[in-house]
Each structure stands twice: as C-alpha cells, then as structure tokens.
Amino acid sequence: EVQLLESGGGLVQPGGSLRLSCAASGFTFNNYAMSWVRQAPGKGLEWVSTVSGSGYSTIYAGSVKGRFTISRDNSKNILYMQLNSLRVEDTAIYYCAKDPHNGDYPWWFDPWGQGTLVTVS
Amino acid sequence: EIVLTQFPGTLSLSPGERATLSCRASQTVSNNYLVWYQQKPGRAPRLLIYGASSRATGIPDRFSGSGSGTDFTLTISRLEPEDFAVYYCQQYSTSRGTFGQGTKVEIK
C-alpha cells in the first residue's frame, strides 16, 4: 500500500522559512514524479511544485517560484519542500502527492498524504 | 494558463438522487487530460476519474466522467450518504496543472 506522511509544518513569521518533508513507502520511489499541492483554509486546491523521479527536473507555480525549492532523496524515499520568504498568503495545508508517471510536469495526484499545516502570521 | 470553472457552486440533493457536476475550461483541454477528485472535511482529496472518463482503482461504478474539449461532467448516478463532499476537477494538459474551485454536494 502506498503511504505518504508529511511533517515539518508549523507557525512561522512573515519572511521566515520552513522545510517540509514527505516520507514515502509502498512503491518504487524513484520511478515516479512527486508533487506538492496546497489548500488555504476554507479554499480550493493549488498545485505548487513537481519534481521528476531522478530529481533533476523541477517545475513551480508562479506564486512560489524563486521562494520555494522542491527536492528529493531517493536513497531515503523522502520528498522535501524548502519554503523561504514566507508570506501570509502561503498559509495552507501542504499535501504531498504521487504522480502516475515519471515526467517533468504534473499529471494527476494519487494518492495524497494527510497534509501538514503551515501558518504564516 | 487554463482556467477551470465548476458549476454549480453548491448542489443540494437527497440520497438516491442523481448528481451532475460540470467543469468548463477556458481553452481546449487536449487529449481529455482532466481528472476529478472528491474531498471530505478534514481529509485529503481522493482521485475518482482520470483521462476524463476512466475510473480510478476502487471507485464505485456509480461515478462516471464524460466530456471533451472544454466541457466535462462528473455524474453520480445514485447518491450514497458517503458521497456528500466537495468535488474538484483538474487539468493536466499544460505543464502547470490547474484546479477548478470546487462543487459542494450537500444533503437537501
């Protein structure tokens, strides 16, 4: 069974930084692209970033480009997201999710982790 | 960027009724690269449909997807109590996937 478990969320001041982690199990991690998707409180879903299976190719939403960095450690089956220069509008639940293929940009997301809450205030 | 508009915003129905949810794209979604998710309160989204009409593993056959081009539909043939939730469409025909704003299916 595929399992994704996020951690690292918390309360941070504007301009601060956080690193989110997502521990993956139940599949051959380096064979799949992985993504982060966020959801502001009471709002809809927003794709944030995707990294290819090798980790060499990354892509970002315009709202976070230059501030967030996605990466992965295939030896540990962990996906990361470094969040810098955080803004109040970055407050959201951040979900990691598995892509169905190994590509340079996101397809769909299945499954999703349970999410980790980032609050910027 | 492809903008997806879902309607109605809220659908009030009774168990056993048929639900029809719409997702309209601002430009053609090539190859019918569109998916549907279900999200219940406090839970992560769950994939229902991919490629506009293919059911994901374990999804009951009361859920069906259809459409092409710019107009897509999710149909729930007979609502079960566990189907009351928020539903999102998402396109993956461009390099940066975008979501619709969601349709809430609530108990009438």
pLDDT 10s digits, A4-63: 999 999 999 999 999 999 999 999 999 999 999 999 999 999 999 999 999 999 999 999
Size (chain B), residues: 108
Mark yes or no for CB contact A112/B46 under 8 Å: yes
Q: Which residues of B touch A109 (CB under 8 A)?
A: 37, 45, 47, 90
A31 close to A12: Cβ distance less than 8 angstroms: no
For B83, phi then psi, to 5°, come to -90, -10
Please choose, from the candidates B57, B56, B92, B58, the residue with its C-alpha nearest in 3D space to the C-alpha of residue B72.
Answer: B92
**The pair of three-digit structure tokens given for residue A50, joined into one six-digit string:** 């995707």
- Using DSSP, state whether B41 is helix, strand or coil: coil
Q: What is the pLDDT of residue B18?
A: 98
Residues of B with CB under 8 A from a CB of A: 33, 35, 37, 44-47, 50, 56, 88, 90, 92, 95-102
Q: What is the pLDDT of residues A59-81, one digit of tens each?
A: 999 999 999 999 999 999 999 99
- The pLDDT assigned to A47 comes to 97
B47, B95, B102 ranked by CB distance to A108: nearest: B47
* Gap between the Cα atoms of A89 and A92, Å rounded: 8
What pLDDT is attached to residue A86? Answer: 98
- How does strand A18-25 pair with strand A10-12? unpaired
